[in-house]
Structure 1
């Protein structure tokens, strides 16, 4: 497979590994060569990325991992259908598929019990995983996760409807993620654009969220009040008050049902707390995961 790095045609995998920070280690999970990054020592915390076009573990967590790795072992994987993880040509992308891939990844690393930080879709994945495998989960932090049912927002429609990639379209799309679009750098736009335009992965993304099924997909991801009330572990919900993709009251609704939970809301902040308010975000996570 050919790739484009910084606008240039790559000559092969070796050159790509030298220039592309998205490539980390690899392990087989559910039969797929799964790309991941692994930093630090101590309590294992798995970072789960979102579902936007061109997303990857590194794009979401690259600037956050070094800070968290000073305190914990942090592991960020490219979920099936994203990043540098091997594509499954027969994949039926739904929540059970992603939960199975995540379970396979955790087992492949020999981890008995883990904590999660889930960004957006990654938060919904964490809640669904916790529902099925509560004995495998310690603490969970959810950032702007679509964990309850709500009406698909215009911004989410725009993100899931991304097709016919161009750098200009990627920049336009990324402005809806942030309260202050000036934080969107040219390098981030280019990284996400090139990732979204890779052969195979572009087609996979375009097939994940068809317009006629988006509300049904979101409804399937969301948990009921009764399901949330069954959770007995510790939860932290973080949400930007200016998020136009997932309304902040989704986090509040979920937290109300979980006995051992807390919510932190960030003003002048959209869907990307880990980018827009990185220092406060990291401090909140370090405090939460350091508690006894």
Structure 2
């Protein structure tokens, strides 16, 4: 009788877990539907080496290119665009496996691979010299690009950037995505509340997160192919050892960091400041992992001061280069 009760209890638990998983299964959002929702003006698309890259090109003046972080999109920079586009030409783009660009058939998901996608994008648009900024994963891509293609980078801005081997464990959601069985499951089972929890976790003040922001993060993760791309990206080897060459970065560099960042700890900002020769560090006491999103006014003000120094280059607009609106 005892064994029978245990068996029934086990079946009940299994049914509850199965029901919870079934309720959390989220179908992919078709690319066309995602674009109809989020590719609003001034969004554009450009065919680049097998990828249809989603980007925005706004403002006039010295050129600033912006690279977002892991599981984010170009929308993370909209605050900076509002603050800076009256004096700068600002280009933001969705990196491979993210946003409306979607998965890369060639799976260029390492930092070096994405830096080479950026180089192809640059060449396709006919850009020559520009300032380059990146947050988190995008920060790692930015300093990789500055090392591999220094002739194109005028000034470099690293915002809570990735790139060093880490002593502490990666965030739980990343560790789960790398796990063979669980990673595959997460490509189909994506509870919105998990995404909301992670979006709030990257803010120093979680109350600043808006429901519309969570909705956008969630929808763009569900864009067809992006969850599988995330799994492949997180399983790819990113530590190529190039961090040992940070002393070769030629571009003057501004390092911005949120003091309340629990995803990439502030001590890594101090390390960038030590290792990059011509650098300065600004730490924001109340901000977290995405300070440019959480407080665009204060962070953009520091960027303006940095970029207004002597030696900046104005980038004239090139011809259309075959870009297409959605």
Query: Is the structural similarity TM-score above 0.5?
Result: yes
Higher RCO (CA 8 Å, separation ≥ 6 residues): 2
Matches within 5 A, 1:1-292: 13=32, 19-21=37-39, 24-52=43-71, 55-58=72-75, 60-154=76-170, 156-159=171-174, 161=176, 163=186, 164-210=189-235, 217=238, 219-220=239-240, 223-224=243-244, 227-292=245-310
Conserved in 2, the CA contact under 8 Å of 1:37 and 1:77? yes
Compare 15-24 and 263-272 and name the one that shifted more.
15-24
Bigger Cα Rg: 2
Count of residues paired in the alignment: 273
Gaps of 5+ in 1: 1-6
Q: Any runs of at least 4 consecutive aligned residues in structure 1 with deviations exceeding 4 A, and if so which? A: 9-13, 15-18
Q: Deviations over 1:164-223 (max 9, x none)?
A: 21211111111210121111111111111111112211111122213xx6xx53x33760
Gaps of 5+ in 2: 1-25, 178-185, 311-326
Secondary structure of 1:93's counterpart equals coil
Q: Pick the structure with more helix per residue.
A: 2
Secondary structure of 1:64's counterpart equals helix
CA distance in 2, matches of 1:243, 1:11: 33
Secondary structure of 1:91's counterpart equals coil
CA RMSD of aligned residues (A): 2.4
Conserved in 2, the CA contact under 8 Å of 1:178 and 1:270? yes
Deviation at 1:93, TM superposition (A): 2.0
TM-score under structure 2 length normalisation: 0.77
Secondary structure of 1:118's counterpart equals strand
Q: Deviations over 1:257-292 (max 9, x none)?
A: 222110000112110101222211010111111111
Q: Deviations over 1:13-69 (max 9, x none)?
A: 4x86554256711112223111100110111110000013xx2112x1122212110
Conserved in 1, the CA contact under 8 Å of 2:29 and 2:222? no
Conserved in 2, the CA contact under 8 Å of 1:255 and 1:262? yes
CA distance in 2, matches of 1:160, 1:10: 24
Compare 133-142 and 250-259 and name the one that shifted more.
250-259
CA distance in 2, matches of 1:66, 1:100: 28
Secondary structure of 1:220's counterpart equals coil
Secondary structure of 1:62's counterpart equals helix
